[in-house]
């Protein structure tokens, strides 16, 4: 072997070993790398959640039956645990705003104003302000909760600041001055921003807000949606990235954000809007592909096309898939005969990750791609997705959405 070939081979080995996880011999799953652990530590320090070595026993008193009482029990258990842990640290970052959407859904599903009242207190504390001036999709996402609260009692003060920000964003062709990326340049944005714009249309009746959604979603779809795989790249830099097994990199939570965003947007569109078909078709295509990737335990892995590298289930993505597919079945967009058994299997799998105290585990830390984590890993945005899923399943169980 020539010297140059040896150097190339050694470099390849070095790259491989840098990615190669430390596998826990006792548990049989990969432990976070040093870089991944740094993100976990940062997220823990910001009070998004944590990943202790031991979280105690799993819950043994939960039923996976899609029956109102069974759904209520687990939804309340997880929501109460999360509210107690998070309320002292409420903020306006996207991780919290996803949780807030879940709490709003939990109050509606359970008929209990406790969680909604906590959201009203939070919103008042922040004077209904968004997280930043000319906010990106993440910083805009808390506006979903402000708008939902307004729709209950019509207090305009809750949405005036959000409306002013949307009006300032409307004429911008890019994300903001000096940043030439698309306003929704990453797939997560399709959960964070469209419902704010669409709800503003509902509240005001002004078509400009819904027209913005159509224009920007289609730009993002053209950039990131793989028309063969029917999945989204996380952002343009991931279009050509592959997993260790050589297959394309599709991140479960990223796909979950899109399916959740579809579920939270379609109902807000005008009934006669010709663009509805675009979103419904994308929900159908993604649901069909996601269904093909469901594992024997009913869940999905952080790297959708490389489950061997990421053997643990990933609950935040799985919960958002359940939410999106249950929404589709409830509205008649997806065939119940095909998808309801998959949904039931997924829900049963998710409940195996609920601990006795209400912790929801196997939630990957923040990031932009598949990573490693411990089964105890629990973060607020994943619980938000879980609460949305449970609330949608309650509608399925009661026929409330039909």
Q: 10-residue block means of pLDDT along the chain (402 residues)?
A: 37 38 65 98 98 98 98 98 98 98 98 98 97 96 97 89 97 94 98 98 97 98 98 98 98 98 97 96 98 98 98 98 98 98 98 98 98 98 99 95 64
State the pLDDT at residue 26: 57
Strand partners, 231: 226
Could you tell me which residues come within 8 angstroms of residue 387 by beta carbon, excluding any fewer than 6 positions away? Answer: 75, 78, 79, 99, 102, 103, 105, 106
User: In what helix (H) or strand (E) does residue 376 lie, and over which residues does it extend?
Assistant: none
Question: What tokens appear for 81 in the block?
Answer: 């645990």
Residue for token pair 């509210």: 83
Identify the CA nearest to 236 among candidates 244, 245, 247, 226. Answer: 226
What is the spatial distance between Cα 137 and Cα 197, in angstroms, rounded to a whole number?
A: 10
User: In what helix (H) or strand (E) does residue 372 lie, and over which residues does it extend?
Assistant: none
Three-state SS for 38?
helix
State the pLDDT at residue 318: 98
Strand partners, 179: 176
Question: What tokens appear for 343 in the block?
Answer: 């949904």
What is the C-alpha radius of gyration for the chain, rounded to an integer number of angstroms?
Answer: 21
User: CA-CA distances (angstroms) from residue 134 to 26, 32, 180?
Assistant: 49, 35, 14
32-48: burial string, b at 16+ Cβ within 10 Å, e else = bbeebbebbeebbeebb
The reply to whether 188 belongs to the active site is yes
What is the spatial distance between Cα 199 and Cα 323, in angstroms, rounded to a whole number?
A: 19
pTM of the model: 0.94
Neighbours of 12 (CB within 10 A): 10
Three-state SS for 355?
strand
189, 221 in Cβ contact below 8 A?
no
State the pLDDT at residue 15: 34
Question: What tokens appear for 5 in the block?
Answer: 């070939």
Identify the CA nearest to 254 among candidates 196, 314, 195, 340. Answer: 314
Active-site annotation holder among 188, 226, 235, 272 = 188
208, 170 in Cβ contact below 8 A?
yes
Three-state SS for 348?
helix
Calculated CA dihedral for residues 46, 258, 263, 215, nearest 10 degrees: 110
CA atoms within 13 A on the CB side of 296: 1
Question: What tokens appear for 163 in the block?
Answer: 């409306």
223, 212 in Cβ contact below 8 A?
no
Per DSSP, 231 falls in state E
State the pLDDT at residue 12: 35
């Amino acid at each position: 072997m020539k010297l140059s070939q040896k150097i190339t081979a050694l470099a390849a080995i070095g790259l491989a070993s840098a990615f190669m996880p430390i596998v826990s011999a006792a548990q049989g799953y990969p432990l976070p790398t040093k870089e991944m652990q740094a993100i976990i530590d940062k997220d823990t320090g910001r009070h998004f959640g944590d990943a202790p070595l031991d979280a105690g026993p799993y819950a043994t008193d939960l039923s996976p039956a899609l029956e109102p009482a069974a759904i209520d029990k687990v939804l309340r258990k997880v929501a109460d645990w999360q509210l107690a842990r998070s309320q002292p640290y409420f903020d306006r970052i996207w991780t919290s705003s996803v949780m807030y959407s879940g709490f709003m859904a939990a109050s509606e599903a359970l008929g209990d104003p406790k969680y909604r009242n906590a959201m009203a207190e939070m919103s008042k504390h922040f004077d209904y302000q968004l997280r930043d001036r000319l906010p990106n999709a993440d910083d805009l996402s808390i506006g979903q909760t402000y708008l939902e609260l307004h729709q209950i009692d019509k207090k305009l003060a809750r949405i005036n600041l959000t409306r002013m920000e949307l009006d300032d964003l409307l004429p911008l062709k890019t994300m903001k001055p000096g940043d030439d990326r698309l306003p929704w340049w990453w797939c997560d944005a399709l959960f964070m921003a469209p419902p704010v714009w669409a709800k503003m249309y509902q509240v005001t009746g002004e078509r400009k807000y819904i027209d913005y959604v159509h224009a920007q979603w289609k730009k993002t779809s053209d950039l990131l949606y793989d028309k063969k795989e029917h999945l989204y790249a996380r952002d343009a830099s991931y279009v050509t990235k592959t997993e260790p097994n050589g297959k394309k990199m599709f991140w479960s939570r990223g796909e979950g954000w899109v399916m959740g965003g579809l579920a939270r947007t379609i109902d807000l569109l005008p009934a006669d809007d010709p663009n509805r078909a675009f979103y419904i078709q994308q929900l159908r295509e993604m649901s069909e592909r996601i269904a093909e990737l469901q594992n024997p335990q009913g869940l999905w892995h952080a790297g959708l096309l490389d489950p061997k590298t990421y053997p643990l289930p990933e609950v935040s993505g799985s919960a958002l898939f359940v939410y999106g597919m249950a929404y589709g079945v409830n509205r008649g967009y997806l065939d119940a005969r095909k998808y309801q058994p998959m949904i039931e299997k997924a829900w049963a799998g998710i409940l195996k990750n609920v601990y006795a105290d209400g912790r929801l585990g196997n939630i990957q830390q923040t990031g932009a791609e598949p990573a490693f984590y411990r089964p105890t890993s629990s973060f607020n945005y994943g619980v938000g997705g879980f609460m949305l899923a449970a609330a949608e399943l309650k509608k399925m169980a009661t026929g409330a959405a039909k």
